[in-house]
């Protein structure tokens, strides 16, 4: 019985550690995606400015409160605008941004295909 | 004061010399058969004057002549000599003077090294290049004069940013400009050759050397910039997809594509339209980049002085060049429609065409990512950021087929290929995937895409090694360059996957233990250096049985008044150990960041290998001759 | 024929690009966030002197104008704007609430004792997280509030012109 309890505790600690490690990974992922607003071109993850340190704390707190990654982004976008996110959101402002390169790729492929088909004839 | 005056008047004279150059060139174009040697003489005089002007600025910096406004803004008497000199080109005005040096140097070298070519072509190239040169002279003298006089003469300068006092950064601009600005000669000569319908194998063989020179310097220049960012900016990254970095990458992508097209043009007299357009595009992208970072239109880590008036000049100049090139291309270019029928599906030409396709896609991703925020802001007043996640998402998936094509392409023969060694190629691919799978399966990362990506890079890696053993020195320049590229991708991927980091707050004497590392803050020493006070922290880091000692530093500069954090990096063959120390507002402890970054050295080495491929290609011709 | 269409499209595109870049030059590249924030955020904080925990609901509940000012003793422009705040606070029309941002208590106390206290309440934000709730990112920043809504936001120190503007709102 005692042995079982012992193993249960170990299992809980083990899972907790993995969850904690995951949590840290997600936190890092989020802070790498946030722009430090008072630095010139640094992410919050990389920066050691006052604002970045505070923001890292806010991200940590929000995660502990149960916010998901997307909810944190939404929260911060509401306070600071879309400029704070390095990964451009996919909305009507950015359709062209995401699609244009892909369109160019397809267009280029079509030209090449045409050229090669012409030759086969 | 003397040096600044000499510099200024040499600059004016240099501009004036453009007029005899143009005059004699136009005369010579119409008339005699042989190139008028006066054109070469005057081009040399112009180069000489620009170099004198440049030296005038350098000496003004060395002697801390603060009557010169540029020196006043960017230097300080306590700066070490080496950085006083490199401060010459570390500012907007001085770097533009460096532009002029490279522009005039390259046209002069071009004239000397093109003796066997069509006279009209050489003269027309001079004329096109002079358009660019005059544009820059006017820009410099009118709005970015490095020799502005200020009175009363200050006793002390405003000092250069200490982050820019670094050896790699000191030589980064000259090296980069030799590539970046050097592409001007490719631009001018391509326009000239198009106008005269001179695009041919002969032209391709001749221009290839210039493309190689420009490409090698551009590659090395970008490498130096990355190395500087890694060692100096203190957070262990080497590429941030920052606008200034993108702006140097775009000409590189165009130039690499151009290099491959020139090879086809030389061997098979095909893809001439591609060659011309890319020659124009490379320099256009260089100019566009100059516009983006000097006009203040973009916000970035290392933009130069922001001045919209200067921006307007470059913008107008840039678009004049674009319209001029478009005009020339559409009026004079005769497409080689007869030749394009000789493309077989399985041939080297097709694989280079596919290479162009992917490279143009990558170029469009970088270009769109960099300028889209500007378009959006102007059109709908919305400010967004486009950062690393965007570029990674769009580029990474396409790298997989790109790497595979890069491996298979060189196996194909010109004109037509049977791909006899199909079995070997497929087997090697399966082996690569297996190796990759074994590496990735124990890690908790994006499993599928990483496996295939590493597998493809490994495939290229193995194929290039195999080619080396099979074909020896026959095509070694291509082999080394492609091998270097595969190594680059592999190093970056492994670096990404296997990096680890520890962040903690420590006071002197404290230690911190995680399940992997133990870090002890031993002591903090204070030193006085020439232009800063140094605080060095001594740390011991224990991992398993290995113990390392690292000493990050905080520097308090007096002029300007800022504090920088200098990382201590221990580089070994397989990994880098990286530590930084930062103060925290109102607290007595320091924020310590320790990172283990594997394969960093291999990233630098692989880029060197890529340049080496280019270098070999450049000298191989001479050797074979 | 196809060539001409391509030519025409390219010219049009480049003219378009030129116009965009030309207009883009006038736009500042410094970012001032568009505050979509209309309502004041809800938060709790300890007060400066009495270390009492207050909720924002308790602070901004009266029918009057409030000025929410984020400051710190280590912030140089805050020193410059402080006398203006004191003058503004003397009239009873507006209540000034201070948020002490990432500061050391002793230094902040010295600041107040030296330059005066225009604040009816001073809240503490030791780690900077409360300021983030307001969408602030530095010091000083000031918010003009009425009926739990943010009327105007000022980034950077206040000057006499802006004070006049605030006064005109209060009327």
Q: Which pLDDT score, from 0 to 100, does residue B325 have?
A: 93
User: Is C138–A57 a contact, with Cβ atoms under 8 angstroms apart?
Assistant: no
- Residue B369: pLDDT band (50, 70, 90) is very high
The pLDDT value given to residue B58: 95
Q: In this structure, how many other beta carbons lie within 10 angstroms of the beta carbon of residue C35? A: 18
Q: Is A41 in contact with B343 (Cβ distance < 8 A)?
A: no
Count CB pairs under 8 A between chains B and C: 54
Crossing angle of the two packed helices B308-332 and C2-26, in degrees rounded to 10 = 180
In chain C, where are the structural domains located? Answer: 44-170
Residues on chain B touching C27 (C-beta within 8 angstroms) = 297, 377-378
Structure tokens at C153: 């936001």
Cross-chain residue pair B322–C14, CB shorter than 8 Å: yes
User: Chain B contacts of A119, Cβ < 8 Å?
Assistant: 340-345
Give the separation between CA A12 and CA A14, rounded to whole angstroms.
5
Alpha-carbon span B175 to B186, nearest angstrom: 17
8 A C-beta contact, residue B339 and residue B269: yes
Cα separation, B224 vs B115, whole angstroms: 34
**What residue of C is the nearest CA neighbor of A79?**
C135
Nearest to B389 among A33, A84, A108 (CB): A33
Q: pLDDT category, B418, cuts 50, 70, 90?
A: low
- Let me know the angle formed at the C-alpha of C168 by C165 and C171, rounded to the nearest 5 degrees: 155
φ and ψ at residue B536, rounded to 5 degrees: -105, 125
User: Are residues C110 and C122 in contact, defined by beta-carbon separation less than 8 angstroms?
Assistant: no
Do residues B237 and A46 touch, judged by C-beta distance below 8 A? yes
**CB-based contact A51 C128, cutoff 8 Å:** yes
Nearest to C25 among B311, B319, B379 (CB): B311
Predicted ipTM of the assembly = 0.85
Please tell me the distance from the alpha carbon of residue B432 to that of residue B535, in angstroms, as a whole number. Answer: 48
Q: Residue C28 — pLDDT band, cuts 50, 70, 90?
A: low
What percentage of chain B has pLDDT greater than the value 70? 93
Instruction: Quickly list H helices, B81-166.
Output: 81-86, 92-112, 119-143
Tokens coding B288: 């566009």
- Please enumerate in sequence order all residues whose Cβ is within 8 A of that of B520, keeping only pairs 6 or more positions apart, or say none: B510, B511, B539, B540, B541, B542
Q: Does the pLDDT of residue C45 top 80, yes or no?
A: no
- The DSSP code for B584 is -
- Closest CB to C128 among A54, A80, A83: A54
What per-residue confidence (pLDDT) applies to B13?
Answer: 95
Q: What is the mean pLDDT of residues B39-57?
A: 95
Does C8 have pLDDT greater than 70? yes
pLDDT of residue A3: 78
The minimal CB distance from A50 to the residues C36, C128, C135 is found for C128
Secondary structure letter of residue C119 according to DSSP: -
pLDDT band at C169 (very low <50, low <70, confident <90, very high): confident
pLDDT range class, residue B160, cuts 50, 70, 90:
low
A59 reaches C (C-beta below 8 A): no
Mean pLDDT confidence for B326-353: 76
C146 beta partners: C65, C149
What topology does CATH give the domain A2-89?
Helicase, Ruva Protein; domain 3 (1.10.8)
Nearest alpha-carbon partner for B259 in B246, B270, B275: B275
pLDDT score of B562: 81
Q: Are C20 and B375 in contact (CB under 8 A)?
A: yes
Of the listed ranges B169-173, B375-379, B483-487, C35-39, the one predicted with least confidence: C35-39
Chain Cα centroid distance, residue B272: 25
- Residue B461, token pair as written in the block: 């890696």
pLDDT at position B370 over 90: yes
Residue of A nearest to C126 (CA): A54
Are the beta carbons of B390 and B367 closer than 8 angstroms?
Answer: no
Q: Residue C130 has which token pair?
A: 């409360």
Nearest Cα to Cα of residue A50 among C75, C142, B299? C75
The token duo for A2 is 């005692």
Order of strands across the sheet with C149-155? C121-125, C94-101, C65-71, C141-146, C149-155
Can you tell me the distance from the alpha carbon of B237 to that of B226, in angstroms, rounded to the nearest whole number? 8
Beta C141-146 vs B575-583: how paired, if at all? unpaired
Percent of chain B's residues with pLDDT above 90: 50
Q: Above 80 in pLDDT, residue B35?
A: no
Strand order in the sheet with B575-583: B500-506, B590-598, B575-583, B568-571
Of C37, C131, C137, the CB nearest to A38: C137
**Chain B residues with CB-CB distance to A50 below 8 A:** 585
Tokens 């060189």, residue? B410
pLDDT tens by residue, B53-74: 999 999 999 999 999 999 998 8
If one compares B470 and A98, the residue with the highest pLDDT of the two is: A98
Cβ(B309)–Cβ(B315) below 8 Å: no
Do the chains contact at C128 and A37, CB–CB below 8 Å? no
The domain ranges of chain A are 2-89, 93-121
Cβ-nearest to A38 among C102, C132, C138: C138
Binned at pLDDT 50, 70 and 90, residue B420 comes out as: low
A44 CB neighbours in chain C (<8 A) are none
Which residues touch B170 (CB under 8 Å, ≥6 apart)?
Answer: B82, B83, B85, B86, B90
Spatial distance between the Cα atoms of C171 and C151, rounded to a whole number of angstroms = 14
**Phi, psi values for residue B500, rounded to 5°:** -140, 160
CATH (one of 3.90.550.10, 3.30.2180.10, 3.90.1150.10, 3.40.30.10) for C44-170: 3.40.30.10
Q: Is the dihedral of CA A93, A96, A99, A102 positive or negative?
A: negative
**Over 90: is that where the pLDDT of B136 sits?**
yes
Q: Are strands C149-155 and C141-146 parallel, antiparallel or unpaired?
A: antiparallel
Task: Give CA separation, B568 vs B232, B364, B507, in Å.
Answer: 10, 37, 18
Question: Could you tell me if A40 lies within 8 Å of chain C, comparing CB atoms?
Answer: no
User: Which of A19-33, C31-45, C48-62 ranks highest by mean pLDDT?
Assistant: A19-33
pLDDT at position B416, please? 67
pLDDT at B424: 77
CA distance B288 to chain C (A): 11
Q: Do A119 and B386 touch (CB under 8 A)?
A: no
Confidence (pLDDT) at B337: 57
Nearest CA in chain A to C41: A79
Averaged pLDDT score across all residues of chain B = 88
What are the tens digits of pLDDT across the range B514-535? 888 889 999 999 999 877 899 9
**Are the C-beta atoms of B592 and B506 separated by less than 8 Å?**
yes
Kindly give the parts of chain A with pLDDT less than 50: none
Tokens of B21: 């150059």
- B594 forms beta bridges with B502, B579
Is the pLDDT at B546 greater than 60? The verdict is yes
What residues in C contact A53, CB-CB < 8 Å? 127-128
Spell out the alpha helix ranges (H) of A1-121.
2-32, 50-65, 69-80, 95-120
Is C7 in Cβ contact with B378 (below 8 Å)?
Answer: no
Phi/psi for B164 (5° steps) reads -85, 0
3-state secondary structure labels for all residues of B488-546:
HHHHHHHHHHHCEEEEEEECCCCEEECCCEEEEEEEEEEEECCCEEEEEEEEEEEECCE
Q: Chains contacting B with at least 3 CB pairs below 8 Å?
A: A, C
B297:C18 CB<8 A? no
> Residue B232 has what pLDDT?
83
Going by DSSP bridges, is the β-strand pair C65-71/C94-101 parallel, antiparallel, or unpaired?
A: parallel
Q: What is the pLDDT of residue B283?
A: 96
Q: Which of B178-187, B238-247, B397-406, C52-61 has the lowest mean pLDDT?
A: C52-61
Give residues with Cβ within 8 angstroms of C44, minimum separation 6.
Answer: C53, C54, C55, C56
| CA pair distance B218, B215, nearest whole angstrom | 5
Can you tell me the distance from the alpha carbon of B376 to that of A88, in angstroms, rounded to the nearest whole number?
Answer: 12
B345, B364, B585 ranked by CB distance to A101: nearest? B364
Cα separation of A82 and A80, whole Å?
7
C61 φ, ψ (degrees, to nearest 5):
-90, -10
Most confident of B113-117, B125-129, B475-479: B125-129
DSSP H or E segment with residue B556: strand B553-557
Three-state SS for B166? coil
* More reliable by pLDDT, B515 or B447: B515
Contacts of B506 (CB under 8 A, 6+ apart): B512, B519, B521, B589, B590, B592
Q: Which residues pair with C70 in a beta bridge?
A: C99, C141
What is the Cβ-side half-sphere exposure of residue B434, based on CA atoms within 13 angstroms? 6
Domain ranges of chain B: 1-165, 500-600
């Amino acid at each position: 019985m005692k042995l079982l309890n012992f193993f249960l505790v170990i299992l809980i600690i083990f899972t907790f550690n993995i969850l904690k490690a995951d949590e840290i990974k997600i936190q890092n992922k989020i802070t790498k995606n946030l722009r430090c607003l008072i630095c010139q071109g640094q992410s919050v993850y990389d920066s050691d400015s006052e604002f970045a340190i505070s923001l890292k704390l806010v991200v940590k707190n929000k995660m502990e409160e149960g916010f998901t990654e997307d909810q944190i982004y939404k929260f911060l976008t509401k306070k600071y605008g879309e400029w704070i996110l390095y990964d451009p959101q996919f909305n009507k402002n950015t359709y062209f941004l995401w699609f244009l390169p892909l369109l160019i790729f397809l267009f280029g492929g079509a030209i090449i295909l045409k050229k090669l088909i012409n030759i086969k004839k | 004061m003397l040096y600044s005056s000499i510099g200024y008047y040499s600059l004016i004279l240099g501009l004036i010399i453009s007029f005899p150059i143009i005059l004699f060139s136009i005369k010579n174009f119409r008339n005699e058969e042989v190139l008028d040697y006066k054109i070469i003489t005057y081009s040399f005089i112009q180069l000489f004057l620009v170099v004198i002007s440049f030296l005038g600025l350098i000496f003004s910096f060395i002697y801390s002549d603060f009557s010169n406004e540029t020196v006043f803004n960017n230097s300080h008497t306590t700066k070490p000599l080496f950085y006083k000199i490199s401060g010459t080109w570390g500012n907007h005005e001085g770097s533009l003077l460096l532009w002029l040096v490279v522009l005039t140097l390259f046209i002069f070298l071009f004239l000397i090294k093109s003796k066997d070519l069509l006279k009209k072509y050489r003269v027309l190239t001079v004329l096109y290049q002079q358009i660019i040169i005059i544009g820059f002279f006017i820009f410099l003298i009118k709005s970015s004069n490095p020799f502005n006089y200020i009175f009363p003469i200050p006793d002390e300068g405003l000092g250069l940013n200490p982050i820019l006092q670094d050896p790699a950064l000191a030589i980064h601009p000259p090296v980069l400009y030799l590539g970046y600005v050097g592409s001007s000669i490719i631009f001018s000569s391509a326009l000239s050759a198009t106008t005269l319908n001179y695009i041919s194998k002969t032209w391709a063989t001749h221009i290839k050397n210039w493309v190689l020179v420009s490409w090698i310097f551009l590659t090395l220049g970008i490498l130096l910039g990355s190395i500087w960012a890694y060692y100096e900016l203190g957070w262990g990254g080497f590429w941030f997809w920052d606008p200034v970095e993108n702006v140097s990458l775009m000409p590189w992508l165009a130039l690499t594509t151009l290099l491959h097209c020139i090879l086809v043009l030389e061997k098979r007299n095909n893809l001439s339209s591609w060659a011309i357009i890319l020659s124009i595009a490379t320099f256009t992208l260089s100019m566009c980049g100059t516009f983006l970072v000097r006009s203040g239109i973009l916000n970035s880590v290392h933009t130069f002085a922001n001045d919209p008036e200067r921006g307007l000049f470059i913008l107008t100049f840039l678009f004049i060049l674009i319209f001029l090139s478009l005009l020339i291309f559409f009026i004079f270019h005769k497409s080689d429609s007869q030749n394009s029928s000789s493309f077989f599906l399985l041939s080297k030409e097709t694989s280079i065409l596919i290479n162009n396709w992917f490279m143009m896609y990558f170029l469009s991703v970088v270009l769109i990512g960099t300028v889209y925020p500007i378009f959006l802001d102007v059109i709908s007043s919305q400010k967004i950021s486009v950062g690393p996640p965007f570029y990674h998402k769009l580029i990474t998936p396409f790298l997989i087929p790109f790497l595979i094509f890069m491996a298979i392409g060189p196996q194909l023969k010109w004109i037509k290929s049977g791909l006899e060694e199909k079995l070997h190629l497929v087997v090697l691919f399966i082996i690569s995937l297996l190796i990759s799978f074994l590496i990735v399966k124990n890690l908790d990362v994006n499993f599928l895409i990483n496996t295939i990506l590493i597998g493809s890079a490994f495939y290229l890696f193995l194929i290039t090694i195999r080619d080396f053993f099979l074909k020896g020195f026959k095509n070694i320049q291509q082999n080394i360059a492609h091998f270097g590229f595969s190594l680059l991708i592999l190093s970056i991927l492994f670096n990404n996957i296997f990096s680890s980091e520890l962040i903690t707050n420590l006071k002197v004497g404290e230690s911190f233990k995680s399940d992997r590392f133990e870090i002890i803050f031993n002591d903090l020493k204070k030193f006085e250096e020439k232009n800063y006070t140094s605080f060095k922290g001594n740390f011991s880091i224990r991992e398993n049985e290995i113990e390392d000692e690292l000493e990050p530093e905080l520097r308090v500069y007096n002029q300007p008044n800022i504090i920088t954090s200098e990382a201590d990096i221990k580089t070994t063959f397989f990994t880098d150990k990286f530590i930084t120390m930062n103060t925290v507002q109102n607290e007595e402890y320091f924020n310590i960041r320790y990172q283990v970054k594997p394969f960093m050295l291999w990233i630098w080495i692989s880029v060197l290998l890529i340049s080496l491929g280019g270098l070999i290609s450049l000298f191989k011709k001479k050797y074979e001759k | 024929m196809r060539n001409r269409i391509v030519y025409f499209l390219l010219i049009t595109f480049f003219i378009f690009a030129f116009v965009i870049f030309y207009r883009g030059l006038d736009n500042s590249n410094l970012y001032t966030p568009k505050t979509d924030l209309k309502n004041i955020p809800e938060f709790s904080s300890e007060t400066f002197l009495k270390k009492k925990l207050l909720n924002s609901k308790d602070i901004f509940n009266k029918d009057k104008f409030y000025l929410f000012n984020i400051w710190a003793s280590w912030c140089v422009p805050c020193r410059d704007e402080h006398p203006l705040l004191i003058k503004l606070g003397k009239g009873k029309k507006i209540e000034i609430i201070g948020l002490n941002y990432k500061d050391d208590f002793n230094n902040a106390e010295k600041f107040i004792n030296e330059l005066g206290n225009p604040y009816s309440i001073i809240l503490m934000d030791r780690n900077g997280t409360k300021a983030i709730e307001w969408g602030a990112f530095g010091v000083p920043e000031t918010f003009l509030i009425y009926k739990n809504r943010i009327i105007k936001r000022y980034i950077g120190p206040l000057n006499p012109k802006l004070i006049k503007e605030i006064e005109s709102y209060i009327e």
